[in-house]
């Protein structure tokens, strides 16, 4: 089980520098017709796929590591592997004990 929720994902995204958020927003909107905010709230299991296709695999990995560090500072010790699963596997969000807040 992990402590990652949609709310924490949204807080992390909001904490990024404006220039990085603007880049992600533009690239995601261009590639998918929707901003990353939509995927965080409505389809969090697609966030990794969306980032990889929008900003590239390497940059998506960097953002994933930034998320892990950000969560760790908030006493959520989710591993990179757990985050990768949470952000790419719909089944990870169907477990009623995670992801709702």
Place of tokens 């939509």: 38
In a domain, 1, yes or no: no
Whether 99 is in a domain gets the answer no
Domains identified in the chain, total number: 1
Q: What is the pLDDT of residues 2-28, one digit of tens each?
A: 789 999 999 999 999 999 999 999 999
Range of the domain at 58: 6-94
- 40 located within any domain: yes
Q: Which residues pair with 5 in a beta bridge?
A: 99
Does residue 88 fall inside a structural domain? yes
On whether residue 41 sits in a domain, the answer given is yes
- pLDDT tens-digit readout, 33-69: 999 999 999 999 999 999 999 999 999 999 999 999 9
How far apart CA 91 and CA 30 sit, in angstroms, is: 27
* 100 occurs within a structural domain: no
Cβ atoms of 86 and 46 closer than 8 Å: no
Alpha helix locations (H) across the chain?
A: 6-15, 18-32, 36-42, 47-55, 57-72, 80-86, 91-94
């Amino acid at each position: 089980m992990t402590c990652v929720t949609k709310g924490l994902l949204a807080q992390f995204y909001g904490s990024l520098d404006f220039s990085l958020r603007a880049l992600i927003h533009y690239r995601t909107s261009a590639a998918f017709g929707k901003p990353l905010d939509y995927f965080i709230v409505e389809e969090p299991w697609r966030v990794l796929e969306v980032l990889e296709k929008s900003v590239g695999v390497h940059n998506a990995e960097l953002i994933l590591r930034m998320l892990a560090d950000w969560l760790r500072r908030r006493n959520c010790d989710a591993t990179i592997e757990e985050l990768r699963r949470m952000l790419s596997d719909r089944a990870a969000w169907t477990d009623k004990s995670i992801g709702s807040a």
